[in-house]
Structure 1
Amino acid sequence: MCTKEAAVGERVAMISLHTSPLDQPGTGDAGGMNVYVIELSRRLAAQGIAVDVFTRATSSTLPQVVEAADGVLVHHVAAGPFEGLTKGELPGQLCTFAREVLRTEAMQPLGHYTAVHSHYWLSGQVGALARDRWNVPLVHSMHTMAKVKNAALAVGDTPEPVSRVIGEEQVVEAADLLVANTDAEARELVDLYGASPDAVEVIHPGVDLTVFTPRDRRESRRSLDLPEDAVVLLFAGRIQPLKAPDVLLRAVEVLLRDDPSLRHRLVVPVVGGPSGSGLEHPSALADLAADLGIEDVVRFVPPVTQGDLAVWASAATAVAVPSYNESFGLVAVEAQATGTPVVAAAVGGLTTVVRDGVSGLLVDTHEPRDWAASLRRLIDDPTLAERLGRGAVAHAQEFSWEHTAELTLAAYQRAAGRMRAEMAS
């Protein structure tokens, strides 16, 4: 369709099939990927690159097209029943979704899109078809990978099916360029999926540094009805075994068992909603808090906006990210940008996002006593907490969506070059 020499970056088709960038992060399938897609799209549009995001419609009341920002259109594609369809059932709707995406492009002038950027393997399957039909490069972001997840399953979590593994392998083979969040993810793509090192580009996600910025902690606590002198240990994210909020609760039980006097000033907000296999037992975390005898210090908060999340993070003594795996760990960067140190599991992208001893603390295990010991260091040593808070702000400055967009645009251009070379060979 469009000529090979067309300038890449004029209009990008962004495919995010299973979760909409307009959804509230923190529950269901909405999380860091939602933030990634909308923030990257906005920054690309700010550089003059129009973006059309294609996502599956989950309600009959949704408009067919929504202008999410100047230069960013979100297309709600009807594919399967609007509600009640699990992520595991979505592969059966790939053909319908792809047909509607191709139909949208067919109504536009020749060469309407100059690149396709797909997110998660389901979208990659559609992106591969669009690449061949439109004759434009396919750039793909995995976000999570079945082989990595299955190698580090949380207790009670469900392994990813073989069909997903095969689908991911197919997308890796079809993509002109793969975007990895970190060096660790790049190695996983090469070692586990056989990707060519030359076809992998490491581009860190960003953080909105105008939203996540240092604020007065006492003022943040007052606005959230938290005691100014409280010890606030925050978890923010989807409540599912992979994210391991139970590790924080079990660590809190250890803290209180070792020091009962801490109980009167300890607050443990859990900001988010059930997701993934956590949907099977939506009250499991609350039940655990009761079983551990710590329900009086745990406060469950529904998912909040990015602005409100910034207030929660700035109010915290520390933000805990005990996930069993993270391709990046956006919440950890966002928390650090507010000046709050992060205690994180030393897994995946978190080893890049958190600088141990500089912007936070990394924990090598998921044992509650090890987590309690790391959290105790920040509780007992305000000087350490303040130093890590300053380091957190400085470290977060390395991650901005503007920089992410610049590198991604260069990746589109590189992918186009790879595609031209392949066609010429």
Structure 2
Amino acid sequence: MSQYVSRLGQRRGRNAQQPRQHLLRLPGQRRPRRVAMFSVHTSPLHQPGTGDAGGMNVYIVELARQLAAQGTEVEIFTRATTGTLAPTVELAPGVLVRHIDAGPYEGLSKEELPAQLCAFTHGVMQVWAGHKPGYYDLVHSHYWLSGHVGWLASERWGVPLVHAMHTMAKVKNAALAQGDAPEPAARVIGETQIVRAADRLIANTSEEAAELERHYEAPTGRTAVVHPGVNLDRFCPADGRAAARARLGLPQDAMIPLFAGRIQPLKAPDVLLRAVALMVDEEPELRSRLVVPVVGGPSGSGLAKPEGLQKLAAKLGIADLVLFRPPVDQEQLADWYRAASVLVMPSYSESFGLVAAEAQACGTPVVAAAVGGLPVVVRDGASGYLVAGHEPAEYARALRRFAADAGLAPRLGGIAAQHAQSFGWGAAAEATADVYTAAIQERRRRLRSPHG
């Protein structure tokens, strides 16, 4: 199934953030000098947790930084969403963000972006035309919209296409949340075309690789499994739960189940609220101890009812327990993780679950749905608990364990912090660079072959 597997589990601690000095490569193999990354619908400069910005933004930023630190320059092409943006922005040494004009700056939903792909591709080609031949060694596209631009660029430039799906329409449609709209047929067709066209596909987990084969008939051996990483310098236990609660103005003795992420049916924050309502109905004394932060903004289909979660909290009679907070930067997000007793992630679909990995790196256990990559990220019964399905009663049952045993969160949190050490971006970048190298070498072999 998967020809390349990341070596994340073999590298521990902060050293996982550092580039490995001695890479095992065959003679003649080399890393690409410069990669063109495409992220059409969301910019790496956007605040995660707002609009369509989320884990993919973090993924692209951290991967690009680490690739550049290891010797591969990265240029990220994204759609300009305001006229005040500079055409190019240096995100980090060796990482350049290029803003491409494609359609009106504001007011376009993700569903309307396919109509702008021609304009975006034209802008990409204008940039490319200003360089010497061979300027980009490889294209790495993220999400299906970018995949179509990447496909054309790959053919035009004569370089390999590496594609990361991040989410898949067929997988999402098979596990829709109540009230969520199915992904359109155009996306399914588009994803199928990209899977056939890509030289390599990158999957977050072995399960995602299997889904690519099962749902999209991805050719065996073309999918590489590379676990995403965590910035272990930013997301760490630091000075502990008490200090984080003091900084955020939270009570020291509270039981705090945290939701962090985009507020949309797919992420199922309503499941947490319904679970908390069950808990206080059955044990009214818990009301004085519970604080339930929801950190994030409406996104996707959640934009149709931006105040829907607040109204649900009021309807359930727990509005006094729930703290709604807007999306925050990564430094403050780490404090929210540290302050929480437990992170709750009841998603209907997650290709990996970076939020769960980040929380664990901060020493916070996780209660999560047993979907997608979450069983890889969360060690069930050790760094947290996995829940089958999305019944609020099951989540209430898991959360009562933390309410009943004040020592449970610190015990599981210690294991969680250790477990998260295996997810370093440095190792993820090395594994990704290996995928790049293999794709380049294979394309060269095909060109040399008389039957290629």
How much has 1:259 moved relative to structure 2? 0.8
Task: Tell me whether 1:20 sits opposite 2:59 in the alignment.
Answer: no
CA distance in 2, matches of 1:230, 1:26: 25
What corresponds to 1:287 in structure 2? Answer: 311
SS at 2:71 equivalent: coil
SS at 2:97 equivalent: strand
Q: Of the candidates 405, 409, 413, which is equivalent to residue 389 of structure 1?
A: 413
Matches within 5 A, 1:284-323: 284-323=308-347
Q: Of the candidates 243, 262, 265, which is equivalent to residue 289 of structure 2?
A: 265
Contact 2:31 2:72 (C-alpha < 8 Å) held by counterparts: no
**Unaligned segments of structure 2, at least 5 residues:** 1-27
CA distance in 2, matches of 1:126, 1:381: 52
What corresponds to 2:12 in structure 1? Answer: none
CA distance in 2, matches of 1:314, 1:7: 41
How much has 1:379 moved relative to structure 2? 1.8
Amino acid at match of 2:372: G
SS at 2:162 equivalent: strand
Superposed CA offset, 1:107-156 (max 9, x none) = 01221001110000000000011111111111000000000000000000
What corresponds to 1:342 in structure 2? Answer: 366
CA distance in 1, matches of 2:213, 2:406: 42
How much has 1:221 moved relative to structure 2? 0.2
Amino acid at match of 2:311: D
Alpha-carbon distance change, 352 to 418 in structure 1, aligned in 2, over 3 angstroms: same
Which deviates more from structure 2 when the two are superposed, residues 268-277 or residues 384-393? 384-393
How much has 1:27 moved relative to structure 2? 1.6
Contact 2:100 2:120 (C-alpha < 8 Å) held by counterparts: yes
What corresponds to 2:58 in structure 1? Answer: 35
What corresponds to 1:377 in structure 2? Answer: 401
Q: Of the candidates 101, 121, 132, which is equivalent to residue 124 of structure 2?
A: 101
What corresponds to 2:22 in structure 1? Answer: none
Amino acid at match of 1:398: S
SS at 1:220 equivalent: helix
Contact 1:27 1:239 (C-alpha < 8 Å) held by counterparts: no
Superposed CA offset, 1:138-175 (max 9, x none) = 10000000000000000000000000000000110110
How much has 1:385 moved relative to structure 2? 2.4
What corresponds to 1:173 in structure 2? Answer: 196
CA distance in 1, matches of 2:256, 2:29: 53
Amino acid at match of 2:305: H
Amino acid at match of 2:333: L
CA distance in 2, matches of 1:75, 1:7: 26
Matches within 5 A, 1:202-221: 202-215=225-238, 216-221=240-245
TM-score by length of 2: 0.92
Task: Tell me whether 1:148 sits opposite 2:171 in the alignment.
Answer: yes
What corresponds to 1:254 in structure 2? Answer: 278
SS at 1:67 equivalent: strand
What corresponds to 1:125 in structure 2? Answer: 148
Task: Tell me whether 1:330 sits opposite 2:354 in the alignment.
Answer: yes
SS at 2:306 equivalent: coil
Amino acid at match of 1:305: D
Amino acid at match of 1:351: P
Q: Of the candidates 230, 236, 240, which is equivalent to residue 264 of structure 2?
A: 240
Amino acid at match of 1:204: H
How much has 1:231 moved relative to structure 2? 0.7
Superposed CA offset, 1:294-345 (max 9, x none) = 0000000000011100000000000000000100000000000000000000
Which deviates more from structure 2 when the two are superposed, residues 359-368 or residues 410-419? 410-419
How much has 1:384 moved relative to structure 2? 3.0
Runs of 4 or more above 3 Å deviation: 5-8
SS at 2:422 equivalent: coil
How much has 1:422 moved relative to structure 2? 3.6
Amino acid at match of 2:384: G
How much has 1:7 moved relative to structure 2? 4.4
What corresponds to 2:215 in structure 1? Answer: 192
SS at 1:382 equivalent: coil
CA distance in 1, matches of 2:102, 2:370: 39
Contact 1:6 1:114 (C-alpha < 8 Å) held by counterparts: no
Amino acid at match of 2:275: A
How much has 1:276 moved relative to structure 2? 0.3
Task: Tell me whether 1:414 sits opposite 2:438 in the alignment.
Answer: yes
CA distance in 1, matches of 2:51, 2:92: 24
Task: Tell me whether 1:80 sits opposite 2:116 in the alignment.
Answer: no
Identity score, percent? 61
Contact 2:49 2:297 (C-alpha < 8 Å) held by counterparts: yes
Contact 2:29 2:441 (C-alpha < 8 Å) held by counterparts: no
Contact 1:341 1:359 (C-alpha < 8 Å) held by counterparts: yes
CA distance in 2, matches of 1:324, 1:164: 19
Task: Tell me whether 1:11 sits opposite 2:34 in the alignment.
Answer: yes
